[in-house]
Every structure is written in structure tokens, then in C-alpha cells.
Amino acid sequence: MSKKITALLAVMILMAGIGTAVVYAMQHEGSWTGEVVDVVCMVSKGAMGADHADCGSKCVKAGLPVGLKVGDTTYILVSADHKPMNDALAAHVGHTVTVTGAKFESKGANIIAVKDFKMAKM
């Protein structure tokens, strides 16, 4: 009986290790450039860009999710230590910035854990 339990535990540990490897494989370090957006207004109303910057900034300051629109993909932005970036990015809603960090994509969710950001050079 104890050999079966030991074997079962060994299989479980192996599977956990494989699962961890898959998660890390979906993490990509790099830099991405796009528009800082108020995710709620962008998704629900299509509101973004310079015309929505003042309203979007207020929404982000109020705690709504802040994101980065890169092409057809929107990433939720959090700090590298997984804390909200609303205060740091509220003034940049509607602007194009470059963020550096780790990108995670899984099951339709897109997140960038930001180490640094700066206004994009145009």
C-alpha cells in the first residue's frame, strides 16, 4: 500500500512540475508599445484615444482596470510585484507608451507585469 502511495505522490509531483513549466513557457519578457486605455470604457463603449483621455483618466483614478492596447490585443497592466498601476498610469490614458516586463497570456486573459514604462518615441 505504501508503495502505491509513494508512486502516486511521485506522479503528482511530476505533473505539478510539468504544469509549472507550461506556465513559465507562456511568460514572455520584452517590451510592448501601445495606447494606455481605460479597459471598461474601451470594451463597453469603444471609447479610447485623445478624445477619451480626460474621462478615461478619471475612471482609472477611480480604480477601473488600466490596460495597454497593442494592435488587436488589450493587456491588463499590473506592476512587476502584481499591484495596480492606476495611479502611475492615470495621467497617460490616451497616450502611447512603451512598457517593459513580463507578458502572460492564458485562456483569453492577457496581462503584462510592468517593470518600467516610458512615453513612446514617435
Is it the case that residue 20 has pLDDT exceeding 90?
no
Q: What are the angstrom distances between the C-alpha of 116 and each of 58, 83, 85, 113?
A: 22, 13, 11, 9
Res 83: pLDDT: 93
Among the listed residues 104, 100, 78, the one whose alpha carbon sits nearest the alpha carbon of residue 89: 78
- Assign 22 a pLDDT band (cuts: 50, 70, 90): very low
Cβ atoms of 90 and 57 within 8 Å: the answer is: yes
Among the listed residues 109, 121, 122, 103, the one whose alpha carbon sits nearest the alpha carbon of residue 32: 103
- Assign 108 a pLDDT band (cuts: 50, 70, 90): confident
Helix runs in 2-85, H state only: 2-25, 39-45, 53-61
- For residue 117 the three cell numbers come to 514604462
Rg, Å, the chain Cα set: 19
Res 14: pLDDT: 44
Q: What is the pLDDT of residues 38-96, one digit of tens each?
A: 999 999 999 999 999 999 999 999 999 999 999 999 999 999 998 999 999 999 999 99
Res 6: pLDDT: 53
- Assign 9 a pLDDT band (cuts: 50, 70, 90): very low
